[in-house]
């Protein structure tokens, strides 16, 4: 048993709860769910996810109690203006005291659903210090402060659950930590941001320009008024850092991760990619290459016959590959109920008395820093789209620069002038395997030749 | 704590192991993986899956120990002729004594990988009676004798892990029981047999007839010499029964499940289905309809834009839908390493000291029988393909029969005579929603009219 020196009610609750099946071996250890002591939770934040949690707790109360072995009770909700009580949490106490959940001895689990990295960090720290289990959907906080919060949770033998923080309702984190634990994973990649995928899907299906697709996403509620985190790949980067920690047991610091967004993707590039048998997706990818980890977030060309290329709209998908084969998990990466479902999965694990398995490795308070192979040193095929004047010698000049960088060309598409491009013509090249470093150097050199009429677009090919 | 009256070494091992993080709350509970007491396993059967288990235990020993918190040691292997020691289990003792793993006080977990329902049942029963945890990939045994084995496991507080028995390396069972536990699932469906999916994929891509595709599957090692279990849907039925237990907490007895195979599917039907925007897949489906459960295994028309329609070759996929949205999980449903990975996931859960969560419900020794809505009473769209003589009045007669059964027609395709069909012409009808009962009655009536030249084919449309 966990030896505890604290006599607080919350730790006694946990000690008792960690044996919901307590019984002699010979008797039949049936649990009377409705008579079992409820697990008491408190929630900070009542936005989209918080409202979803309250709703699922109410609508699915019976089945959650059956899965959990006891009822789950929402005691407290922290919101800014507690007078405006909202949503389904009708029996909860509302307060604007941020630390109330952390300081209440009756509370077993604190749900941090306020987002951001200031108040959220303060609340989680205090809750863990007081021996409370914590569940959060806050990828930004964990990607930035995980090195501080996970060891604290471990020192208190507390759950710090974050299933909801990556790919919402998709059961990806527990799968990596537990169901696929006998694999050595060497590749993790995914469509980790539904907003960006929705925008790219619109651009791809209707030839819509980026700005119009973004406006549509905002109109439909998929994108925030300030969409930067989603469209510039930052949200996906937060999630990728967490996936790398769980899959590889390595910390890839956020500030070392290479991140590109989709705001410069054009319908023209999507059309060319399609013609070559690819779709364009904003991917987060990480793989092990000779013991090093290479990772990044970027719009990539994905072969059209890959299942990943067929993930459309606001859906997410994560593909894992290990020495026991590939798997792909698909579903809603955001939204009230999918995310709430993941939050409550972590709550149910606490209710069931599971030992914390926050990062999926037994002897690791926090993963050591990864030995990093910068994404620009990693090798892949590339897609380059130049916009050039319609005159002789241009292809020769560009091909010459690429050859000087030892980049060999697999395919060239040069189109006639069109209404879209005016007097300029797009010139598209697909390369064989080359490090992106050489591609970037070649692009800079081509620019100096003063033969391109617009910024050159570069995409990695999966 | 579990009160134990047994003084056997195995139960002491388990009692100790269930607290791998034992430590005072204030100290840092780091576990020294290599110094922790190994978990001792014994394995019956050294076929495809058993060899895979031995290989992963060897190749991934270090990462498995890190995930599990301690090393996992394979002590004993039961095979028919222990002189022919095979595979990677080089330090194990080989024996032909079936019950040796169950009777060895040093063994913590027994892996049943021999298949069948006689010796396997005997071994699992004895192991559980002796307080050993059990892990199995044997869907046939659990679908038939789960009502006996799960309550026994529960009465002994033992794990009876079977992640490997459904969809191989896809992390589906733990996802249903735990990560999606806050959902009320109302639909489970999947491509649950890789052999059948490989055959249908070949028929679909190359217009290959069933027999030739089956022969190819056998040649490639995807199909057994006797392929009945795979192609007649029986294997998928076993898996579906287990999925229903976990997803709905209800037992759908195998003998009540409606099961159709793929041996009568023709390339002609696949071609017509494609023309109408569908692929043909062997599906296991179960859904809740007004509190009842309706389920079956059958070749179905799946809309071509569904991700499920794009699952090709020997891959499996399972789609779940609950009130928190749909998810789909995809990967290898069979094969040595994928299945072994799932077997070892259950072993690692034991090593980590998790409480058993065999069926995913706290107060349920075994799920009660489902309130069944027979598949033929459930409503769907249907696809009917008749082979009729090329003469006037045939469509009128068939349409008349359907109308008499209140079946309304959504689409008709009638083709010219072709080389394939000789003087007969195929007549394809897509219906609006109707219960299959009426479809079957109409088919019988049409047969009596003596206007069809071959058996009429009927597929449900998803």
Task: Report pLDDT for B5.
Answer: 34
Predicted pLDDT at B18: 36
Q: Chain A closest CA to B333's CA: distance in Å?
A: 10
Tell me the angle at which helices B61-68 and B336-351 cross, rounded to the nearest 10 degrees: 40
Confidence of residue A21 (pLDDT cuts 50, 70, 90): very low
* A139 catalytically annotated: no
C-alpha gyration radius of chain A: 25
State pLDDT tens for residues B248-277: 999 999 999 999 999 999 999 999 999 999
Does B175 sit within 8 Å of A171, measured CB to CB?
A: yes
Q: How far is B137 from chain A (nearest CA, A)?
A: 14
List of chain A residues whose C-beta atoms are within 8 Å of the C-beta of residue B363: 30-33, 66, 69
Nearest-angstrom CA–CA distance, B231 and B251: 24
Sign of torsion over alpha carbons A350, A239, A179, B166: positive
The confidence score (pLDDT) of residue A90 equals 78
Helices A436-448 and A394-404, axial angle in degrees (round to 10): 140
Q: Give the position of tokens 């936005």.
A: A47
**B179–A184: do the CB atoms touch at under 8 Å?**
no
Predicted ipTM of the assembly = 0.90
A326 CB neighbour count, 10 Å cutoff: 16
Q: What is the DSSP-derived secondary structure letter of residue B6?
A: -
Partner residue opposite B66 with nearest CB, options A163, A249, A356:
A249
Q: Which residue is catalytic, options A239, A288, A292, A448?
A: A239
Angstrom distance (rounded) from CA A166 to CA A180: 17
Among B67, B173, B182, the residue with its CB nearest the CB of A60 is B182
Contact across the interface for B361 and A64, Cβ inside 8 Å = no
Please state, in angstroms and rounded to a whole number, the distance separating the CA atoms of residues B428 and B423. 16
- E strand segments, B179-314: 185-191, 258-259, 278-289, 292-303
Q: Which of B6, B249, B335 sits opposite A66 (nearest CB)?
A: B249
Beta strands, E only, B155-312? 160-161, 185-191, 258-259, 278-289, 292-303
Judging contacts by C-beta atoms under 8 Å, the chain B residues touching residue A52 are 324
Find, among B176, B101, B109, B144, the residue nearest to B357 by Cα. Answer: B176
What pLDDT does A422 receive? 66
Q: Average pLDDT, stretch A156-161?
A: 98
Structure tokens at B34: 């290599």
- H-helix or E-strand spanning residue A189: strand A185-191
Mean pLDDT of A383-391: 93
Distance from CA of B263 to the nearest CA of A (A): 27
Domains of chain B, start order: 9-165 (3.40.50.720), 172-332 (3.30.360.10), 378-461 (3.30.70.260)
Q: Which of A23, A182, A249 sits opposite B348 (nearest CB)?
A: A182
Could you tell me which chain B residue has the CA closest to the CA of A68?
B362
**Interface mutation vs chain B, best among A173, A179, A305, A349, most B CBs within 10 Å:** A179
Nearest CA in chain B to A346: B179
The pLDDT of residue B12 is 34
Name the percent of chain B in helix, strand, coil, to the closest 5: 40, 25, 40
The pLDDT tens digits for A65-108 are 999 999 999 999 999 887 766 666 778 999 999 999 999 999 99
Residue A17 scores a pLDDT above 90:
no
Set of chain A residues whose Cβ sits within 8 Å of the Cβ of B328: 329-331
Query: Model confidence over A181-216: pLDDT tens digits?
Result: 999 999 999 999 999 999 999 999 989 999 999 999
Give yes or no for a contact between A194 and A216, defined as CB atoms under 8 angstroms apart. no
Termini Cα distance of chain B? 49
- Kindly report the average pLDDT of chain A as a whole number: 90
Nearest to A50 by CA among A149, A116, A136, A173: A136
Measured from the Cβ of residue A360, the count of other Cβ atoms closer than 10 Å reads 20
Cα(B107)–Cα(B44) distance, rounded to whole angstroms?
13
Tell me the C-alpha distance between A139 and A166, whole Å: 7
When scoring A184, A324, A332 by the number of chain B Cβ atoms within 10 A, the one with the most, hence best to mutate, is A324
The pLDDT value given to residue B16: 35
- Cα–Cα distance, A14 to A350 (Å, whole number): 8
pLDDT tens, N- to C-terminus, chain B (462 residues)? 333 333 333 333 333 333 333 333 333 344 456 568 999 999 999 999 999 999 999 999 999 999 999 999 999 999 988 776 666 677 899 999 999 999 999 999 999 999 999 999 999 999 999 999 999 999 999 999 999 999 999 999 999 999 999 999 999 999 999 999 999 999 999 999 999 999 999 999 989 999 999 999 999 989 989 999 999 999 999 999 999 999 999 999 999 999 999 999 999 999 999 999 999 999 999 999 999 999 999 999 999 999 999 999 999 999 999 998 899 999 999 899 999 999 999 999 999 999 999 999 998 999 999 999 999 999 999 999 999 998 888 999 999 999 999 999 999 998 776 666 667 899 999 999 999 999 999 999 999 998 999 999 999 999
Under 8 Å CB pairs connecting chains A and B tally to: 293
Task: Count the neighbouring beta carbons within 10 Å of the beta carbon of residue B243.
Answer: 26
Binned at pLDDT 50, 70 and 90, residue A5 comes out as very low
Q: What is the per-residue pLDDT across A115-136, written as a single tens digit (0 to 9) for each?
A: 999 999 999 999 999 999 999 9
Active-site choice (B239, B310, B415, B417): B239
Percentage of chain A lying above the pLDDT 70 cut: 90
Q: Which of B31, B69, B178 sits opposite A349 (nearest CB)?
A: B178
pLDDT in tens, A391-434: 888 999 999 999 999 999 999 998 776 666 667 899 999 999 99
Each as own residue / partner, the long-range contacts of residues A408-414 (CB below 8 Å, 24 or more positions apart, any chain) are A408/A432, A408/A434, A410/A381, A411/A276, A413/A272, A413/A275, A413/A276
Whether residue A171 and residue B169 make contact (CB cut-off 8 A), yes or no, is no
Question: Are B324 and A338 a contacting pair at CB < 8 A?
Answer: yes
């Amino acid at each position: 048993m966990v030896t505890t020196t604290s006599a607080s009610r919350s730790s006694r609750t946990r000690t008792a709860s960690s044996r919901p099946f307590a019984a002699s071996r010979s008797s039949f250890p049936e649990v009377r769910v409705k008579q079992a002591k409820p697990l008491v939770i408190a929630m900070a934040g009542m936005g989209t996810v918080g409202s979803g949690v309250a709703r699922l707790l109410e609508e699915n109360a019976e089945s959650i109690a059956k899965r959990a072995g006891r009822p789950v009770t929402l005691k407290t909700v922290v919101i800014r203006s507690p007078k405006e009580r909202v949503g389904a949490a009708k029996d909860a106490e509302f307060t604007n005291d941020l630390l109330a959940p952390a300081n209440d001895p009756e509370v077993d689990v604190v749900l941090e659903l306020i987002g951001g990295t200031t108040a959220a960090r303060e609340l989680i720290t205090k809750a863990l210090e007081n021996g409370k289990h914590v569940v959060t959907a806050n990828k930004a906080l964990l990607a930035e402060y995980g090195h501080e919060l996970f060891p604290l949770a471990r020192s208190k033998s507390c759950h710090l659950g974050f299933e909801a923080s990556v790919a919402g309702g998709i059961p990806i984190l527990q799968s990596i930590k537990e169901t696929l634990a006998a694999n050595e994973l060497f590749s993790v990649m995914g469509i980790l941001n539904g907003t960006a995928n929705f925008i790219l899907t619109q651009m791809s299906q209707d030839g819509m320009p980026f700005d119009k697709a973004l406006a549509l996403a905002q109109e439909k509620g998929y994108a925030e008024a300030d969409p930067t985190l989603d469209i510039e790949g930052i949200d996906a980067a937060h999630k990728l850092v967490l996936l790398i920690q769980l899959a590889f047991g390595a910390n890839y610091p956020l500030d070392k991760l290479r991140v590109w967004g989709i705001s410069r993707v054009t319908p023209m590039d999507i059309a060319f990619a399609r013609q070559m048998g690819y779709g364009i997706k904003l991917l987060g990818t990480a793989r092990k290459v000779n013991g090093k980890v290479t990772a990044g977030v970027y719009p990539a060309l994905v072969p059209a016959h890959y299942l990943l290329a067929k993930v459309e709209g606001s859906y997410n998908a994560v593909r894992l590959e290990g020495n026991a084969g590939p798997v792909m998990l698909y579903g809603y990466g955001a939204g009230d109920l999918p995310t709430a479902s993941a939050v409550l999965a972590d709550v149910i694990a606490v209710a069931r008395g599971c030992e914390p398995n926050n990062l999926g490795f037994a002897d690791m308070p926090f993963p050591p820093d990864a030995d990093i192979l910068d994404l620009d040193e990693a090798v892949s095929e590339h897609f380059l789209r130049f916009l050039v004047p319609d005159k002789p010698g241009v292809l020769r000049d560009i091909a010459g620069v690429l050859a000087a960088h030892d980049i060999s060309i697999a395919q060239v598409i040069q189109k006639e002038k069109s209404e879209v491009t005016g007097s300029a013509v797009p010139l598209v090249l697909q390369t064989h395997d080359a490090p992106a470093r050489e591609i970037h150097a070649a692009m800079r050199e081509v620019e100096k030749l003063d033969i391109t009429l617009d910024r050159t677009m570069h995409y990695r090919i999966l």
